[in-house]
C-alpha cells in the first residue's frame, strides 16, 4: 500500500471510529443533542439552539447523524407562523445528508454507517433536520451521491423532488415548449435541467443577470423578469409563483404547474392547472442521486453555516439574489 492510500485508509478508519463513538454516546440513556427550534414567531432573531433529547427510530424508521441540512424558504415560512403551531417549540429542516447511526425495527436494506440523503416531510414538527440527529422513515432516504460532498448533497432532497414532480406533472411530449419561472432559483434551476433532459424546449424566466446561468443549465431561450416569451408555451412550471401572469403565457389547452398548495390561479381557456405537493420518496430520490453522480444534474450551494449560527442562515436566506441552497452543518 502506497503512502497516499495508507493515509486515506487511516482517515477512513478514524472517521468510522468517530461515528461509532458518537453512536454510543447517542444511545446512552438521557443523551441530548443540539437542535434549532423556535417558540415564538418572527424574524431570524427568534431562532434558538436548544438542548433536547436524542430521538430514537420507531418501526420502519432510521436515525441519521446529520452532517448537513438545507435551509429552505419553507423554513422561513414556519418561523414567521405561516403554518401556525403557536405555543409549542417547532423544529426546522426538511433536507438531510449524513449517515445512518440507528435502525428501527422492521427496517430492511439499511444498516448503520451508510451515507444517505433524505427528506423529512412536515411543516409544524417538534424536530426537523436542523439538529445533530434526525429520525426519518426508511422509505424517505436514499444512498448519498458520491460525486459531491455532504454540504452539496443536502441541496438535493426537497428542491430536487419538487422540481422532478413538477416536470413530470407537465405530461408533455418530447419537443413541447415549457416556460420555467424563477429559473435561477434552486427549484427552478433543477426544473430547467430536468425538463431539458426530458426533451422539452425550455424557456427560462429570471433576472437579466442570470441568463448565462440558466442557459448553462439547459434553457434554449431566455426571458428577463417582467418580460414575456415570444409566443404561447405548452406548459409552465411556475417556480416564481407568478400565478395568473404565468398562466397567461400558456396556450389554450396547455398546462400550468404550481409549487405551492392552495396558491394556484383559477383555470381558464382549457388550461390544466396542477399544484404539486412534494412527498418523501426515497426511490425517486435515488434516481435523482444517480443523475447527480452521472454529472447530469447540477446542485448549487450559496453558503454553509454551523447549527449555532442558524439565525444568520435565516437572515442570509432573506437577502435578495441568493443563488444556491444555504446549508447548516452539524
**The pLDDT of residue 7:** 47
Residue 162's nearest CA partner among 318, 288, 314, 322 is 288
Q: What is the pLDDT of residues 213-229, one digit of tens each?
A: 999 999 999 999 999 99
Rounded mean pLDDT of the chain? 91
Question: What average pLDDT does this structure show over 159-181?
Answer: 97
pTM, two decimal places = 0.89
In the chain, what's the furthest Cα-to-Cα distance? 69
Per-residue pLDDT at 8 exceeds 80: no
DSSP structure string for 140-172: GEEEPPSSS-HHHHTTSHHHHHHHHHHHHHH-P
**The pLDDT of residue 185:** 94
Per-residue pLDDT at 10 exceeds 60: no
Residue 92's nearest CA partner among 82, 102, 81, 78 is 78
Q: What is the pLDDT of residues 300-330, one digit of tens each?
A: 999 999 999 999 999 999 998 889 999 999 9
User: CB neighbours (10 Å) of residue 139?
Assistant: 16
Q: What is the pLDDT of residues 240-284, one digit of tens each?
A: 999 999 999 999 999 999 998 788 899 999 999 999 889 999 999
Amino acid at each position: 500500500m502506497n503512502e497516499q492510500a495508507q493515509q486515506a485508509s487511516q482517515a477512513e478508519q478514524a472517521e468510522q471510529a468517530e461515528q461509532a463513538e458518537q453512536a454510543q454516546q447517542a444511545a446512552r440513556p438521557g443523551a441530548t443533542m443540539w437542535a434549532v427550534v423556535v417558540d415564538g414567531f418572527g424574524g431570524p432573531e427568534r431562532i434558538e439552539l436548544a438542548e433536547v433529547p436524542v430521538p430514537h427510530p420507531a418501526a420502519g424508521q432510521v436515525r441519521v447523524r446529520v452532517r448537513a441540512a438545507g435551509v429552505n424558504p419553507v423554513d422561513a415560512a414556519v418561523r414567521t407562523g405561516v403554518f401556525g403551531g403557536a405555543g409549542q417549540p417547532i423544529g426546522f429542516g426538511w433536507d438531510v445528508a449524513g449517515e445512518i447511526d440507528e435502525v428501527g425495527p422492521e427496517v430492511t436494506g439499511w444498516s448503520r454507517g451508510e451515507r444517505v440523503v433524505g427528506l423529512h416531510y412536515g411543516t409544524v414538527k417538534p424536530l426537523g433536520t436542523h439538529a445533530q440527529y434526525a429520525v426519518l422513515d426508511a422509505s424517505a432516504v436514499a444512498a448519498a451521491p458520491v460525486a459531491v460532498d455532504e454540504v452539496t448533497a443536502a441541496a438535493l432532497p426537497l428542491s430536487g423532488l419538487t422540481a422532478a414532480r413538477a416536470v413530470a406533472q407537465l405530461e408533455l411530449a418530447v419537443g413541447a415548449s415549457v416556460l420555467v419561472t424563477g429559473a435561477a432559483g434552486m427549484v427552478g434551476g433543477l426544473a430547467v435541467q430536468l425538463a431539458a433532459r426530458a426533451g422539452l424546449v425550455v424557456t427560462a424566466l429570471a433576472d437579466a443577470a442570470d441568463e448565462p446561468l440558466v442557459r448553462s443549465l439547459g434553457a434554449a431561450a431566455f426571458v428577463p423578469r417582467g418580460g414575456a416569451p415570444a409566443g404561447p408555451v405548452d406548459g409552465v412550471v411556475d417556480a416564481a409563483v407568478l400565478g395568473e401572469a404565468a398562466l397567461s403565457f400558456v396556450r389554450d389547452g396547455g398546462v400550468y404547474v404550481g409549487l405551492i398548495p392552495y396558491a394556484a390561479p383559477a383555470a381558464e381557456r382549457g388550461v390544466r392547472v396542477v399544484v404539486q405537493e412534494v412527498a418523501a420518496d426515497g426511490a425517486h430520490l435515488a434516481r435523482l442521486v444517480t443523475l447527480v453522480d452521472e454529472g447530469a444534474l447540477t446542485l448549487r450551494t450559496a453558503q454553509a453555516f454551523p447549527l449555532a449560527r442558524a439565525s444568520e442562515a435565516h437572515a442570509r436566506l432573506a437577502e435578495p439574489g441568493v443563488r444556491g441552497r444555504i446549508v447548516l452543518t452539524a
